[in-house]
């Protein structure tokens, strides 16, 4: 079945039921998640008002996925920082930054898969290199935003005061967590070598 050029239209009724106008069937959030994973585009309209409510439905799908056991993608630190951006002067820059980051991750996902499969068979070098490159990219991106300072050095960027130290501390926490993960991976690798 060929993918449609036009997005599928979903109508949401007052009883919270979702209706796929393309297939003339009622669907669930799980069905819509499957559409997203299959690369199908859809828009959701409130059946009564005609308002586009796609964003809130996609958010509901993420909420449902995050509540499934073992499905968590969004770290607590990320969620807290995201909440801090609401109403902040940085708010208008965050969506574009997140879009660029997820686009980059999407482009790199096949490389990640290959590196992970190689990592468990022949060491963690390529995976470590990719993680290091990604961290450098995030640090460069965050250093461009006022209030984040120079992520690489932990020093405030020109004209920044103490306010930039807080995000720097969060980056230090992330670096510490990455270091702990690396130590665990090293221990796993060493125990695998000792078994062989």
Mean pLDDT value across residues 99-113 = 83
Question: What range does the domain containing 118 cover?
Answer: 76-195
143 and 163 share a domain? Answer: yes
pLDDT at 142 over 80: no
* Predicted local distance difference test score (pLDDT) of residue 162: 43
Average pLDDT over residues 134-152: 61
Q: Which residue has the higher pLDDT, 103 or 162?
A: 103
Q: Which of 46, 66, 86 is the last residue of a domain?
A: 66
Checking if the pLDDT of 161 tops 60, the result is no
CA 145 to chain centre: 19
Which pLDDT score is estimated for 121?
Answer: 62
| pLDDT at 159 > cutoff 60 | no
User: 25-27 and 42-46: which strand pairing?
Assistant: unpaired
The total domain count for the chain is 2
| Secondary structure (3-state) at 89 | coil
Among 18, 48, 66, the domain-final residue is 66
Residue 84 pLDDT exceeds 50: yes
| pTM beyond 0.75, yes or no | no
Residue 112 lies in a domain: yes
Cα–Cα distance between 131 and 126 in angstroms, integer? 9
Q: Is 108 exposed, middle or buried (0-12, 13-18, 19+ CB in 10 A)?
A: middle
Give pLDDT tens digits for 45-66: 999 999 999 999 999 999 999 9
Please say whether the beta carbons of 147 and 141 come within 8 A.
Answer: no
The distance from CA 17 to its chain's CA centroid, rounded to whole angstroms, is: 28
**What Rg value do the Cα atoms of the chain yield, rounded?**
21
In the listed set 16, 42, 66, which residue is the last one of a domain according to the structure? 66
Which among 62, 68, 17, 64 has a CA at the least distance from the CA of 44?
17
Is pLDDT at 68 greater than 90 in this prediction? no
* Judgement on whether residues 89 and 153 belong to the same structural domain of the protein: yes
Distance between CA atoms of residues 156 and 146, nearest Å = 9
Mean pLDDT of 86-115: 86
Residues 16 and 90 in one domain: no
């Amino acid at each position: 079945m060929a993918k449609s050029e036009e997005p599928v239209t979903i109508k949401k009724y007052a009883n919270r039921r979702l209706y796929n106008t393309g297939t003339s069937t009622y669907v669930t959030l799980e069905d819509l998640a499957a559409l997203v994973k299959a690369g199908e585009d859809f828009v959701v309209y409130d059946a009564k008002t005609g308002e586009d409510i796609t964003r809130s439905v996609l958010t509901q799908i993420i909420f449902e996925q995050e509540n499934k056991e073992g499905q968590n993608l969004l770290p607590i630190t990320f969620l807290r920082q995201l909440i801090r951006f609401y109403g902040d002067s940085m708010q208008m820059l965050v969506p574009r930054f997140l879009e660029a980051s997820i686009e980059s991750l999407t482009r790199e996902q096949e490389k990640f898969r290959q590196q992970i499969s190689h990592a468990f068979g022949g060491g963690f070098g390529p995976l470590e290199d990719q993680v290091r490159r990604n961290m450098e990219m995030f640090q460069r991106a965050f250093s461009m935003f006022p209030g984040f300072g120079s992520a690489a050095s932990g020093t405030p960027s020109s004209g920044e005061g103490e306010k930039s130290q807080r995000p720097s501390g969060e980056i230090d926490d992330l670096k510490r967590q990455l270091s702990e993960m690396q130590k665990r991976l090293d221990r796993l690798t060493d125990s695998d070598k000792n078994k062989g």
